[in-house]
């Protein structure tokens, strides 16, 4: 060990000495009464692209395939997962923590909207509190046995997404985008964030890719031509899917009936995660 060596210099030092400190892990311990097989984060570079809807559909697809699925709603200031599943009752708890409520289709869900006194109350919290809440959803919630946990991320690449990627053992990321040039540029920021944190992109979903005319059946690219193949090829992502504008699906989410929606468009995509 060099006489000038100090612990604060270990990260930038090239010496392999006995006193070298191992890189610090920020991973939080999962609730002891829980088991989670795989964690998939669903993120987007901006809001309004249908990220929460895709998260819900992926969880429904997993459940219909016979897997034990769960959704951790990390979008603390814009929680919409309970609405999609029609969940309104507050969860119960025991000495081990908050028990994750379950939908009729078997999907376990935890969201800040299930804990608020009124569902329409705004969450006016600063970043550290938001990040701490996400951690508590992992450490203090009794999830039971889960094969696939889908994390509905807040949009962008800020504090909470960073907390999720550093605190939870994320196995892969699904990036949701739409066809516009601007969104395609923004989604690259999300992809680059994943690369910086060494988390693989396991799939890309292009939502609102087209609208099928009910009269003639023609597929109309209302938001512009698709760019998903180009972006996916650039970053080596093989698992991609395009979803059309589907008013029926949107209405099902608004009514809290996402589990009754047709998930066939996402079926093959979800089975490769």
pLDDT of residue 12: 52
Among 80, 104, 81, 100, which residue's Cα sits nearest to residue 90? Answer: 100
Q: What is the mean pLDDT of the chain?
A: 91
pLDDT (tens digit per residue) in 172-184: 999 999 998 777 7
Highest mean pLDDT: which range of 43-47, 156-160, 167-171, 183-187: 167-171
* Residue range 139-168: mean pLDDT, rounded: 95
Q: How many CB atoms lie within 10 A of CB 240?
A: 17
**Reported confidence tier of residue 217, pLDDT bands at 50, 70, 90:** confident
Among 199, 209, 153, which residue's Cα sits nearest to residue 177? Answer: 209
User: What is the three-class DSSP state of 241?
Assistant: strand
**Reported confidence tier of residue 20, pLDDT bands at 50, 70, 90:** low
- List, as one string, the DSSP characters of 178-209: -SSHHHHHHHHHHHHHHHHTT--EEEEEETT-
**Reported confidence tier of residue 50, pLDDT bands at 50, 70, 90:** very high
pLDDT (tens digit per residue) in 102-116: 999 999 999 999 999
pLDDT (tens digit per residue) in 34-43: 999 999 999 9
pLDDT of 269 higher than 90? yes
Cβ atoms of residues 83 and 252 within 8 Å: no
């Amino acid at each position: 060990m060099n006489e000038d060596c100090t612990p604060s210099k270990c990260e930038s030092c090239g010496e392999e000495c006995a006193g070298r400190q191992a890189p610090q892990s920020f991973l939080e311990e999962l609730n002891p009464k829980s088991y989670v097989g795989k964690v998939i984060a669903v993120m987007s570079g901006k809001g309004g692209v249908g990220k929460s809807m895709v998260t819900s559909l992926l969880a429904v697809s997993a459940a219909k395939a016979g897997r034990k699925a769960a959704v951790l709603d990390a979008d603390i200031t814009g929680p919409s997962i309970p609405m999609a599943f029609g969940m309104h009752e507050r969860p119960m708890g025991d000495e081990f923590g908050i028990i994750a409520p379950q939908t009729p289709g078997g999907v376990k869900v935890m969201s800040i909207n299930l804990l608020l006194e009124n569902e329409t109350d705004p969450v006016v919290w600063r970043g550290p509190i938001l990040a701490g809440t996400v951690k508590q959803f992992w450490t203090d919630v009794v999830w039971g046995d889960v094969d696939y946990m889908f994390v509905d991320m807040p949009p962008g690449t800020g504090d909470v997404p960073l907390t999720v990627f550093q605190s939870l053992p994320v196995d892969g990321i699904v990036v949701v985008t739409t066809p516009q040039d601007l969104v395609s540029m923004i989604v690259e920021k999300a992809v680059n964030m994943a690369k910086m944190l060494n988390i693989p992109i396991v799939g890309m979903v292009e939502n609102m890719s087209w609208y099928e005319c009910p009269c003639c059946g023609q597929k109309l690219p209302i938001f512009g031509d698709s760019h998903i193949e180009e972006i996916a090829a650039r970053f080596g992502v093989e698992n991609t899917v395009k979803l059309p504008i589907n008013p029926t699906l949107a209405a099902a989410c608004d009514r809290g009936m996402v589990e009754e929606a047709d998930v066939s468009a996402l079926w093959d995509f979800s089975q490769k995660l």
